[in-house]
Amino acid sequence: MAPATASAITLTVNGEKHTLTVDHRTTLLDALRERLELTGTKKGCDQGQCGACTVLVGGRRVVSCLQLAVAVGDEDVTTIEGVANGEHLHPVQQAFLDLDGFQCGYCTPGQICSALAVLEEHAAGWPSAATEDVRPEAGPPALTPEEIRERMSGNLCRCGAYVSIVQAVAHAAEQTGGRTAEEPQKETKEPAA
C-alpha cells in the first residue's frame, strides 16, 4: 500500500475548529488561504523571508509559509481575521489605519500580527538585538523607536511605510499600556479626519 499523502487534521483558527483533509505538503499558509478561505494572511515569498504570512500560533508569531498544516496540532491559530473584536478594531489595527502604517496593504496583516506579538514579547521582558542592557534585573527595555524597528524587522514593507509602522506600533503600545519612549520628532503626522 502506498503511504498516505494526506491526513485529516483539526485546525483551531480564531477560536473556531475546522476539520479538513490536507495534502502533507500543504503549509499552514495555504491551508488558511486555499482551504479555509481566510485570505487575510498573505503570501509574499513562500520561503520565510518577508513576514507577510505572519500569524500567531499558540500566541507566538510564526511565518505560516514555513509551517506545515499537519504539524500545527491543537495549538490556537490567530490570523488577521481574528484580531478585531467584532466591529471594534484592535488598537494596533486602529493605529495602522489612523497613522497610515501601510500603503498597498499586502504586508499589513503580517505587520499587525507581528506587532501584537512584539507588544506581548516586550511585556514579557524579552530583549532584542537593540536592547542596551539585557540583564534580567534591568527589566524590560523602553519600547523606543530603535526597539520597535529591530523587533519589526522580520516584516518587509516594499512601499516603504516603515516610518508610519513604527509610529503606529508606538501609539498602540501606549494605548495598550506598553512603556514607550518617543524619539524627538520635529514633525508630527497630521491626524486623519
Binding-site ranges for other proteins (CB under 8 A): 5, 23, 25-26, 30, 33-34, 37-47, 49-50, 52, 79-81, 83-84, 89, 93-94, 96-98, 100, 102-109, 112, 130, 145, 148-150, 152-153, 155-166, 183, 185-187, 189-193
Name which of 108 and 131 has its Cβ closer to other proteins: 108
Task: State the nearest-atom distance from the C-beta of 95 to other proteins, in Å.
Answer: 9
Name which of 75 and 81 has its Cβ closer to other proteins: 81
Task: State the nearest-atom distance from the C-beta of 64 to other proteins, in Å.
Answer: 13
Name which of 147 and 178 has its Cβ closer to other proteins: 147
Task: State the nearest-atom distance from the C-beta of 111 to other proteins, in Å.
Answer: 9
Task: State the nearest-atom distance from the C-beta of 124 to other proteins, in Å.
Answer: 21
Q: What is the 3-state secondary structure (H, E, C) of the chain?
A: CCCCCEEEEEEEECCEEEEEEEECCCEHHHHHHHHCCCCCCCCCCCCCCCCCCEEEECCEEEEHHHCEHHHCCCCEEECHHHCCECCECCHHHHHHHHCCCCCCCCCHHHHHHHHHHHHHHHHCCCCCCCCCCCCHHHCCCCECHHHHHHHCCCCCCCCCCHHHHHHHHHHHHHHCCCCECCCCCCCCCCCCC
